[in-house]
Structure formats: structure tokens, C-alpha cells
Chain A
Amino acid sequence: MRMQIAVAGLGELVSGNRPDQVLVCYGLGSCVGLALHDPVARVGVLAHVVLPDSRLGRGVPDRPGKFADTAVPAAIEEAVRLGAVPARLVARIVGGARMLPVAGIPGMLDIGDRNVEAVQAALARAGIRLIGQDTGGTYGRTVHFFVGTGRLMVSTVGRGEREL
């Protein structure tokens, strides 16, 4: 079977409900990859969350996947549109690293941590169960999320690959 790859760039949200689809986030640093899966309907959604809060968006209309507080409802809505049932949805989150150990630039160091916390809080508000998490540290991560099986692989540079 030839896999169909859909890549979520910064602030984007990709989805699928066919077994040959793979959803990908390349090179997550401080951003968080949020994967939602309905194992029964075999629906998957992957969002590339950049910032914790849409109030940081300077009032201009933006992509819902960009902020944790808007990405979670948008991802749920997209999953439902493709046939998922909210009560069956499970979430996994990846990323939120601290890539550049530089002090003195305000807001720079902890943005990854804040992204992780904000996604967790938004999932809790929406009543979505978080079943896996590979976050923090000082290194980048790439996510491959297989819609059909729900399998989610996290690869790194020099730290191997693992299933989440």
C-alpha cells in the first residue's frame, strides 16, 4: 500500500480517515504536535501548534491550528467532520522542547513548556483523554501518525525513534 503523506506546517492542521494516510509534523522544536485519533472510526487529526494562547495573535485572523486554545476545538471539529465520535477521541502530544539555551531574551526559553501546558489544559477542558506524551528536552522531534492503525512514531536526530 502506498502511503499518502499530509504534512502539517507551522500552525496547520491536517486530517484523514483512510488507512493509507500518514500525518506528519517535521522538526518540532518548541511547537507541539497534537494528534487526535478515533480508533473505531479510524480518523486522525494532527495539528502543529505554535503558541499557547490566541490572545498572542495580535487580533489578526489566523489559522486555528496555530494556538493551543483554538487548535484543540478545531481538531475535534475536524475529526467529527470526518466521522469521529468525541467520546472516543484520544490525544497524544509531542514536542515543546527548549532548543536554544539562551537566557536574557524574554519569553524565549519557556515557550515550549507553555505550549505543552496550554495544549494539556485545552484537552482537559474539552474532555479529551491524553494517552501519550513525549515532550520537553532540548532536541527536535518529527512525528509520523498513521491514521489507519493510530500508530504514532517520534523520530529524533541522534536519539533514535520510538513509538508513542
Chain B
Amino acid sequence: MTKRVLGMKETDSSFQALQAIMEKGLADSSVALSAMSTGGMRLQKPVVHMLPLDQVPGIAGGPARVVVAVYVGMKGDLSGHLMLLFQREAALRVVEMLMDLPPGSLPDLDEVGRSALAEVGNICCSACLSALANRTGLVILPTPPVVVTDMAGAILESVVTHLYLNGDESLVVETKFNEEVPGYFLLLPDQQSLGKLVAVVGTKP
């Protein structure tokens, strides 16, 4: 069975165009993140899925799993949500990579760690939004990043609830940092915005 999102199938050219845009965005993120870390940081080529909203709170190890999320809202021509999500251990590892520390040296996420993650989220979200804007000509404005540590279900529910108001599915982008640390990047445009996006990427070569 082919998964559908708001009339779009994963085999559609518009979906593939979106996937290519996200790949470009994360590749640009790798360059920017490597520039700020000594050891270099590379994001794996992402796997993009369409997921029913009901299933979104279960990604990243289930709804009860403690995760660290960097949230950025989208305004302008597109509205919706962007989120970078790590399981707690993975979040610590990303901060260690950025600070060139050996694995396991950070016991907990402190203020410095949180702002480092906010910056990672900022870079990834901005790069993906730039990739989207370059490809579509749409003007998309990110809100300042917010870092939250809590149960995955509780954090994801809040954006899913908002999206339920006009849709049933969303775009989930899965990637890995330096091929070892899994992270999830969610691009969650509301239905109107996704319609706009599909229309633009579907027509522009």
C-alpha cells in the first residue's frame, strides 16, 4: 500500500522533489556544523517518510522516551513546525561532538549544552528552510529555537494537535549525526502550506 499525504504519494514527483530539498538542506547543515566543530559533523543522507499524525508521538523510541527537542516555528508563506529530536543520550553525544569531548564525558545537559543544541537546531532548520526557499521562491520565517527536554509523546503531541486541525499526516525526516547518533528532523507544514509546497515543487523543474 502506498502511503498518502493529503493526496501526495511517496512515489510522486512532488514528494521526491521535497526529499531532494531536505537532502540539500541537511547537506548544507553538515557543512555549517562541521565549521563550528573541530572533529567535523556530517549528517547522513536522510530517509523521508510520510507518517500519519497518530504515529508521530511514537517516533524516537516511543512516547514515554525522554527526548531533547529543538523546536522552531515556521511563519510567512509557509506555516507549521520544524523539530529536531534526539533521545537524551544522543543529544548529549551531539553536544560532545560539537565540543570535541570524548563519548560519555557529559553527565547531563546543562545550560551550555542546551544552547549548543539550540544552535544545532537553528542551523539545521535554517539550512532546510533556505533550501526550500531557494527551490520554491517562498518566503519562510523561522521563530527563535526553543529547547525542551521531556517525554517524546508530550512534546510531539503539542505540534500534532495543532496539525490535526487541518490534516492527518506529516513529513518525518530521519538522519544520523556522524553515522552514529540518530536524530529525527520533522518538517510539519500545516495542510494549506503543504498544498502550497506541493503545488510549487510539482510545477517548477
Against B, the Cβ 8 Å flags (1 = close, 0 = not) of A51-67 are 10000101000000010
Q: Could you tell me if A99 and B54 are in contact, using CB atoms closer than 8 angstroms?
A: no
Chain B positions within 8 Å of A9 at CB level: 54, 57-58, 63
Q: Which of B71, B161, B166 gathers the greatest number of chain A CB atoms within 10 Å?
A: B161
Q: Could you tell me if B57 and A27 are in contact, using CB atoms closer than 8 angstroms?
A: yes
Q: B63 to chain A: closest CB distance in Å?
A: 4
Q: B142 to chain A: closest CB distance in Å?
A: 11
Q: B88 to chain A: closest CB distance in Å?
A: 9
Chain B positions within 8 Å of A31 at CB level: 157, 161
Once A102-B71, A102-B143 are accepted as A-B contacts, the answer to whether A28 and B164 lie under 8 Å apart by CB is: no
Chain B positions within 8 Å of A104 at CB level: 73, 75, 143
Q: Could you tell me if B71 and A100 are in contact, using CB atoms closer than 8 angstroms?
A: yes
Against A, the Cβ 8 Å flags (1 = close, 0 = not) of B138-168 are 0000010010111111111111111011100
Q: Could you tell me if A107 and B162 are in contact, using CB atoms closer than 8 angstroms?
A: yes
Check A140 for interface membership: any CB of B closer than 8 A.
yes
Once A10-B54, A102-B143 are accepted as A-B contacts, the answer to whether A27 and B165 lie under 8 Å apart by CB is: no
Check A141 for interface membership: any CB of B closer than 8 A.
yes
- In Å, the complex CA distance between A94 and B34 comes to 43
Q: Could you tell me if A30 and B157 are in contact, using CB atoms closer than 8 angstroms?
A: yes
How many interface residues does B have (CB within 8 Å)?
33
- In Å, the complex CA distance between A140 and B154 comes to 5
- In Å, the complex CA distance between A28 and B64 comes to 9
Q: Could you tell me if B73 and A28 are in contact, using CB atoms closer than 8 angstroms?
A: no
Against B, the Cβ 8 Å flags (1 = close, 0 = not) of A145-163 are 0000000000001100000
Chain A positions within 8 Å of B73 at CB level: 102, 104-105, 108
Q: A137 to chain B: closest CB distance in Å?
A: 11
Q: Could you tell me if A100 and B155 are in contact, using CB atoms closer than 8 angstroms?
A: yes
Once A29-B154, A139-B154, A157-B151 are accepted as A-B contacts, the answer to whether A50 and B166 lie under 8 Å apart by CB is: no
Q: Which of A97, A100, A141 contacts B146 (CB 8 A)?
A: A100
- In Å, the complex CA distance between A158 and B151 comes to 11
Q: Which of A26, A107, A141, A158 gathers the greatest number of chain B CB atoms within 10 Å?
A: A26
Interface residues of B (CB under 8 A from A): 53-54, 57-58, 62-64, 66, 71, 73, 75, 79, 81, 143, 146, 148-162, 164-166
Interface residues of A (CB under 8 A from B): 9-11, 26-31, 50-51, 56, 58, 66, 97, 99-102, 104-105, 107-108, 111-112, 139-142, 157-158
